[in-house]
Every structure is written in C-alpha cells, then in structure tokens.
Structure 1
Amino acid sequence: MAKSLIRDISLAPAGRLKIDWVRQHMPVLNIIREQFEQEQPFKGIRIAVCIHLEAKTAYLAEVLKAGGAEVSISGSNPLSTQDDVAAALVQSGINVYSWYNATDAEYKDHLLHLIDDQPDIVIDDGGDVVHLLHTERTERAAKILGGCEETTTGVLRLRALEKQGKLKFPMIAVNDAYCKYLFDNRYGTGESVWSGIMRTTNLITAGKTVVVAGYGWCGKGVAMRAKGLGAKVIVTEVDPVKAIEAYMDGFQPMNSLEAARLGDIFITVTGCKDVFTGRHYELMKDGAILCNAGHFDVEVNKPDLVAMATSRRIVRKDIEEFTLKDGRKLYLLAEGRLVNLAAGDGHPAEIMDMSFALQALSARYILEQAKNLTNKVYVVPKEIDHRVATLKLNSLGVHIDTLTAEQEAYINSWNHAT
C-alpha cells in the first residue's frame, strides 16, 4: 500500500465486485490467464500499464500478474479512473498510481511514479508514458525491452517518433490488429459512446441530427449506432475516400461548417485537434450538445467555447452549459474528454476481452523476441491475431472450416490448371 497513490483503500470491496463481474465475461483472457499461471512467462519482469483504469483494465493487470509479472498501473485519462477499482488492485498486490479527477500535475506525477518503478515492458494508451520516456525520463528507457500501444492516437505518435529516428525501443501497434480495430474501435466505441451520451443526458436520440466528425473505424461504429437509434447522421471528413464510404454506407458527408448549422449532437472521433471551434459554435443551434470520443480533449476546442460564453455552469453531472452572447446555449459533455469513459464505463467487457488478450500475448511476444526486435513500430503478428479470434469463436460455441492441404497448395500457386 505504501507505494501506491490512490484515493481510498476502503473502496476496495466495491471495486472487487466490478472486476469479478467483467472476469465472468472475458473468456479469452481467462484462457490466457490459465496458461500464464502454469508457465509463468513474466517471472522477474516488471510491466507498467497505462490504460483507462476501470474494471476490464484491472483484470488485464491481474492476468499479467498471474503470469509472474510485477505490475504497476496508472490511468490514461484523469476522468476515467474508478477509485474503487484502483483500491481493489492495491489489495491484489499491484502498484497503483491513479485517482479520479486528477489535476494535470497529479496525472503527470502518477505517470512518473509508474515509470520510476523501472518497467521492462510498457503497455500504453495514447502515448503519454512513451512520451515521458523520450523526454523527462530518458534514463529509464534503456531498460525497456519494448511495449504495446492501445489506441489510434498513440500509434500515430509512435510512427512520428519512428519516422524521426527517435524511437528508443520497439513498440507493437496493438490498435492496428484486426481483432482490435474491427471490433473494439467499431463495435466497442459505437456502443460505449452512445451509452455514455444517453446515461449523461437522458435524452432521446431518435429523430435528432447527429454529426460524426471522422469516419475511421471508431467513427463508423458511432455513426452505425446513431442510425440504429433512429438518428439522421451527417459525417464530416478530410479524406475523400472515407467520405465516399460514408455516403455509400447511407450517411451524408458534409463540410463541418454546413453541418454545424444542422446538428443536434456533435461527436468527434478524429484524433486531431480543433475539429469544432469558435467558427462552428457561432452557427450551432440553441441546445446543441458537443462531445468527444477521441483520446485527447483537444478535438472540441474548449478555450473558444469559454471565450465566447457570457456564463457557464454545471447543469447535470458531466454536462456543462455555455451561454453565448445571443442567448444560445451549447452543452459540453465530460469536459470534452472521452465521453464513453469519462461519462461511462467504457467498452463492453466482451469487446475488451479481445483487445486485452492481444495486449497480453503481444507483451509475451516482446519478452520472447526482444533480441530480434529493433526500435520501430511493429504490427501484431498474424498468429496472435488469429489465436485471439479462434479463442473468441470457441467461447461462442462457433466452429469454422479449415483449408485442406490441396486447397492450401491451390491458393498459394500461380500455375492453376485451365
């Protein structure tokens, strides 16, 4: 307990109930845990985990510990840490540096404590830990065998480091695995974003005009769920190919300034900054709702909103009202941070089962292949992706075909008989 920085250890029983609940719904990770317990692949290895600290992440940490690792964990967002879950992890023997609603200084201090535990492997979400290892804690980087990155934003930061020749250790882009982005980004984000919006606002979605900024895999999931809830969906994009895809998927691609006049609910999922700014706020309807599902709180420009407002107040938990000079009111959810985590419980357990199985197996891959890896960004090996998919199918009671030897030879040959 002395090493950890948490709010209240007495909250642990409630956190344990949450962790035990998600464990029942994460069959893939349960199978991996059994294997780790038998083989102890991480014995003597320190692993630092920086992912949204809620029950599903906590269970990943416990699976790594079951494999012999000494695990330290912090949250990757000041508003997504659940204090009862953090307390439960401390009681299970994991070093925890995180609490809900941390200030910027506290959040950074938590990450520095995580790094100062001198990890051999890093599992990051958004790239903040890796950033500190390349700036303020460079002396700790030499010990690191490698790491894994959970999100699109984090992978973009890693590729920028690699391109500049500055990446100090190998990283696996877990986000880019099929079993991650096809399911976590699309179905997980789609469902958890709307869960967060609906539980926060208690408003109906059917009949409203929803503007989804960004049509990557996360944007596709958000738009698809909005359509299923009965909304009219507009998509804003900077990529013409994705805009055509949105059009053919039944949505209306549009310039963001045009969309600003029409939307009732605006959701950003781009990974970029200043997606909606003052010039958009000037055009928005009275009562428009703004929220973000990208990793950092820079997509909805809050400083512009503050500057334009004559008054602001909290009108409901996780809803801030900004009254503009002409009397219009705009509403920002969860301070512009990740609405599905800052105002919700994140992705469903069954979805994170696959994503965190990828993390656990990728961490083991780094350990086993460290001598063969260079300082670059790697894709998740195909065999890991397929193993997670197979385990998931098995847990669902689904069995699929396999190719015969003759079929394998046929599809790998160029000289087919006519």
Structure 2
Amino acid sequence: MHASSLENMYRCHARYLPPKVLRARGEMTVLDVGGADVNGGYREVFADPQFHYKTVDLAEGRGVDIVLEDPYRFPVEDHSVDIVLSGQMLEHCEFFWLSFAEMMRVLKPDGFLFLIAPSAGPIHRYPVDCYRFYPDAYRALSKYAGCHLLEVWLDERGPWRDLVGVFSWQQMAQPVGYTPPIRATAPVDVPPGTPEEEAVQGSTSYLQVLERLHDVLEPALYLEIGVRHGRSLALAKGIAIGVDPDPEVADGLLPPTTRLISLASDDFFRDVAATEMPDAPDLVFIDGMHLFEYALRDFMHVERMSRPGTLVVIDDILPSHPTQAERNRRSRVWTGDIWKLQRCLAELRPDLTLIALDTSPTGLLLIAGLDPANRVLWDRYNPIVREYRAELPPPREVLERTDAMDPADARVAAVLATLRQCRSDGSTRAAVAARLRAALAKGTAAE
C-alpha cells in the first residue's frame, strides 16, 4: 500500500462520510475488494466501531476475510453493503468491467464505491498486470453499470499517479472541503516531558526573523500554512492568505488585507488555490502538521505555484531532543519529524538553496531557487515517503545545530537582497539560481 493511495482513501472517507453523515447512518458495512494486507491496507481508514469491515480476495492472506471461488462473484446479497472500496486491484483484473459491475451489484442504493487504480507506473504482476486507467475509463464504467460517477481526480504523485473515483447509484452534489480525520496535533494538555525533553535553543525568535523577512522582501502576496493563533500571520503588511482547518485567531488581530481560509492545506491547494491565489506568492511560511509527509506535500504544492524569486520558510526543523522529533507527540515542545525535509531536499533537489537558521525555539529552513517545472518530488513521492516516514532519531548535527546559520549571518542578508532584486528585475529561474550561489559565496567572503 503506497502512501498516496492511503491518503486518497482518507480523502474519500472525509468528503463523503463526514461526522453528520455518519451520525445519521449508524452502523455501516464496508467491503474491501482485493483487500489482502500487502504492505498495509485501508482498514485503518474505517477503524471506527461504527464500520463492520470485511475483505474479499482470491487467496488466503493477512487481512482476508472471504476467499472468492469466482473472482467475478461475491458471496454477498444484492444492495446490502454501505461502502464498497477497492484500491490497487483493478489493474490486476483481466475483466475489470465484470468486477466493477459486481461491486455495484452489492452496493446499497445510497452507498458509495471508492475506487483507486494506477494511471502509470512499472509492471507489477500480482499475478498479472493488465491495465492503467484514465478519467474516461471511470466514466465508461459508470455508463456500463448504469450508475453515477460523482467525482474523479487524477493524483499526479508518482510513480503510480492514482486515478480516484467515487461512484453511487444516486446522483448528488459534490462535497467541497472537509476537516481531515487524522490530526497530527496532540491535546494541548499533553503532560510535560523532562527538562531535557522540553529544552529549546536559539538566541533569536523565529517571529523576529519572519518580521525581518517581511521588511526586506516586502512580499506583494504572503501565504501561510498553519495559522494557529495568528501571531506570525499578523506580521504581514500587504496582501496575505492564511490557511488552517481550525484557526484560533483573536478578533482584530489580523489586518483587513489578510484573508483566513479554514481548510486543510491539501484541500486548499487541490480545490481553491487556483481561484483564491491568482498570483504567485513571494513569501511562504509553512508551519502546519508536524509530520514529514505533510510538510513535503505543502512544499511541493507551493513550488508548483511559485515564481523564481519566491522564498519558502519551513518551521520546526531543529529539535533539541529526540523526544521532540518523534512522530507521536510526547512533549510540549514538539517538532515532529520535519527535520527530515532538509535532508530529503538536499539529497533529491541539489538545485535548491537551503539555509537552516538557528532560531528559537525550533529553527527555520529557508528554501530558495524554486522550480515549478521540476517533477522529481512528484514522480518519486511514494518511495520518498516510504523511506522517510520511518521513525528515525535526529542526528547529532541536527540536535546540536552544528550546520545552522545565525540569522544575522552575512550570507542570509545576501540571499534576501538577491531575491528582492531578482523579483524587481524579473530574473529567470536559472539566473536566480546562479545569483543565489554568487550571493552565498559573497556572503562567505564578507565574513
């Protein structure tokens, strides 16, 4: 089970089974077609006791409840299942249209079928690998079975670039926006750790550095992911957009030029960014979910809509204790595993300019030289997440900040001045990258 497939199933759940719908429907049956646990499965998405989760597959295996004698006939009554789902199965099915018709046969009149299949990727016979799917394929399937395709989207993250579809016997308006079912934040009353686990470093507050960035760069458009109480968003002096699914901003804190959008960042970029942000941001601050894959996705989306002079700032890259860097929060000072993002970008995107800043309490990462056309992260998303999502303690150089710059370092000033100049003279992406390298070299010589 690759990461983007699981994320898409969570999205289907959240869009079509929000709390109001779940309360109204009561107990629900879920049938996972091809649901053997091969490197994970979807069962966790429907872990609530309200769901009665069953899987069918062609052979016995981990997570299989029913072994099929006929791959195109399920031992399930007509229109008896609330939710039918299937992922990474259809490409292995020789006569997939028959499987689709069978899935619709067992689906209740008011139920949903969540279907995920690859549109790309290498051959992976299990035991055969026959097809790849595009949006018109799902439209054709809905015509074949006489049902409705409520929604379809093509996920560009590789290598599989999954096609996701939601089908039903009933037509309905497409849902817009949702609160994700998984939150990476822990309750605010999490008990404190030891003094060592709650230690912080850095002589300069991250808010002071952000204020300086606003003063120097004077962004025409500022974007912030993860608003919380709005202290950093309030620093914006021009047009600004803050994105947070559950902001807690006091009335009157934000200027009238700031717009607050109550969405998770994935949904903001996927559903509304194109209309809410007609121009590219000049400065972006990412301080959202404290997990590597969330920060990675936020950066990927931002880069795609950036201009050559855009500066991205990532919070929480320098934990001071291994406990702070765990994926499951156990301390009040908590960075999650965001520190991995710098290592990932340094390995896979050497074209970027990366500067870690020794700020209080948990460090900042400046990223410049963005390239909207670069597809490395998009094409390798699933292998990247599989590698970096593992629970790893941060190395000594991260904990001790040996490679982090002082915010007052001349190289930081040189990079900021270069970005502002490149914005004003409309430099190309290649020119910006070259001038950033020169600025860093000049800043080092100035020391």
TM-score over 0.5 for the pair: no
TM-score, normalised relative to structure 1: 0.32
Q: Which has the larger radius of gyration?
A: 2
Indicate the structure whose relative CO is greater, using CA pairs within 8 Å and at least 6 residues apart. Answer: 1
More helix by share: 1
